């Protein structure tokens, strides 16, 4: 299942990137985040790993993710290494008026063939709402 949400933040890309690229900020703006822990002692960026669980319905889902793209101040993406199969991405683009368009994409796939597909479809509405709330929180955090 692939879900995407977008918003425009009244700030330049560098200001938005400062938040999106900082692992310490995720618990503050990521909606329904139940667990966010650094797995390794390395710096934030390419190759960094985190244990992440989001609450979807009554169930925390997630696992260990690894940052696979860290292109300042444009793209940050990750893949799931354990747990639910997932790929996530924050994409930052400058608008003509100097603001920043933020695109948040999340693709996930539950195990279980047909039952997994049904679970993914059922969860898509809540996942989309959580993603929208995440972008709203990010916008408020950056804009002050």
Quick: pLDDT tens for 45-61: 999 999 999 987 777 88
pTM of the model: 0.90
3-class SS at 135? helix
- Whether the Cβ atoms of residue 138 and residue 15 lie closer than 8 Å to each other: no
Tokens of residue 73, six digits: 């101040």
Write the CB contacts of 124 (distance below 8 Å, at least 6 apart in sequence).
Answer: 1, 3
Least confident of 16-30, 67-81, 124-138: 124-138
Q: Which domain holds residue 131?
A: 2-143
Which one is predicted more confidently, 107 or 105? 105
CATH number at residue 45: 3.30.530.20
138, containing H or E segment: helix 113-143
Cα 55 to Cα 129: distance, rounded to the nearest angstrom: 12
What per-residue confidence (pLDDT) applies to 2? 85
Cα 53 to Cα 7: distance, rounded to the nearest angstrom: 24
Residue pLDDT, tens place only, 22-49:
999 999 999 999 999 999 888 899 999 9
Quickly count helices (H) and strands (E) in the chain: 3, 7
Burial of residue 22, with CB atoms counted within 10 A of its CB: 0-12 exposed, 13-18 middle, 19 or more buried: exposed
Number of domains in the chain: 1
- The candidate with the shortest Cα–Cα distance to 108, out of 77, 75, 84, 134, is 84
């Amino acid at each position: 299942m692939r879900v995407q949400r977008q918003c425009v933040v009244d700030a330049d890309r560098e200001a938005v990137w400062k938040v999106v690229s900082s692992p310490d900020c995720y618990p503050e703006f990521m909606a329904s985040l139940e667990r966010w822990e650094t797995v390794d002692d390395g710096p934030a960026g390419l190759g960094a790993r985190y244990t992440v669980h989001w609450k979807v319905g009554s169930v925390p889902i997630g696992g260990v993710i690894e940052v696979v793209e860290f292109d300042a101040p444009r793209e940050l993406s990750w893949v799931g290494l354990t747990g639910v199969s997932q790929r996530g991405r924050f994409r930052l683009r400058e608008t003509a008026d100097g603001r920043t368009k933020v695109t948040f994409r999340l693709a996930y796939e539950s195990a279980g063939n047909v039952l997994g597909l049904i679970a993914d479809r059922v969860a898509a509405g809540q996942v989309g709402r959580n993603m929208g709330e995440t972008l709203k929180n990010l916008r408020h955090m950056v804009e002050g």
